Amino acid sequence: MRRLLRRILWAEDGSSTVEFVLMAPVFILIFVSAFEVGALMLRNVMLDRALDIAVRDVRLGLVGGADDEEYYDNLKERICDRALVVPNCMSELKLEMRRVHPVAMRLMPVDADCVDRAERGKPAREFTHGGDHELMILRACTLFDPFFPTGGLGSPIPRRSDGTYALVSVSSFVIEPS
């Protein structure tokens, strides 16, 4: 009986299985984290790029509209056409644009005005397209659901109450004279 017990305790069969069981969750956590943060960064870069291209069009007077609402829709469509990896862009993107006086420098509120999924029809905080030589700030906010909401190192990224991430991109510009 002693010999059998000693042979079982000193056996090395299955030792690699124990190492795998201890290390596999760590590697899965790293993979999930890299995927989540990579998706977040890709969407953020694409939103920044789309906003920059749309701002160039605004500065040159290529975005038009009869009123602020039509102008808002045209600008939003231009951004969504270029932000290829932002899912449901037209319904999840919200824009905020305001004039800034160069001397008074009335700054925008810190918290971005994002879409409220419970109240889809809520208007933008402020959206006014300016005239020639006016300093403007444009802020775009879009929401997306995380791929792995509870796992990975992406879980500490700040989220809204509904569990979504908010991506915010800001650009300032001066409108060129016509």
DSSP string, 85-135: TSTTHHHHEEEEEEE--TTT--PPPSS----BTTBTTPPPS-B----TT-E
Q: Is residue 63 part of a domain?
A: yes
Q: Is residue 154 part of a domain?
A: yes
Which amino acid is present at 160? R
- In the structure, what pLDDT confidence band is assigned to residue 147 with cuts at 50, 70 and 90? confident
Domain tally, the chain = 1
Q: Is residue 3 part of a domain?
A: no
Q: Is residue 2 part of a domain?
A: no
Residue range of the domain that includes 140: 17-174
- In the structure, what pLDDT confidence band is assigned to residue 80 with cuts at 50, 70 and 90? very high
Q: How far is CA 44 from the centre of its chain?
A: 5
Q: Is residue 92 part of a domain?
A: yes
Q: Residue 111: is its pLDDT beyond 80?
A: no
Q: Is residue 107 part of a domain?
A: yes
Q: Is residue 155 part of a domain?
A: yes
Q: pTM above 0.75?
A: yes
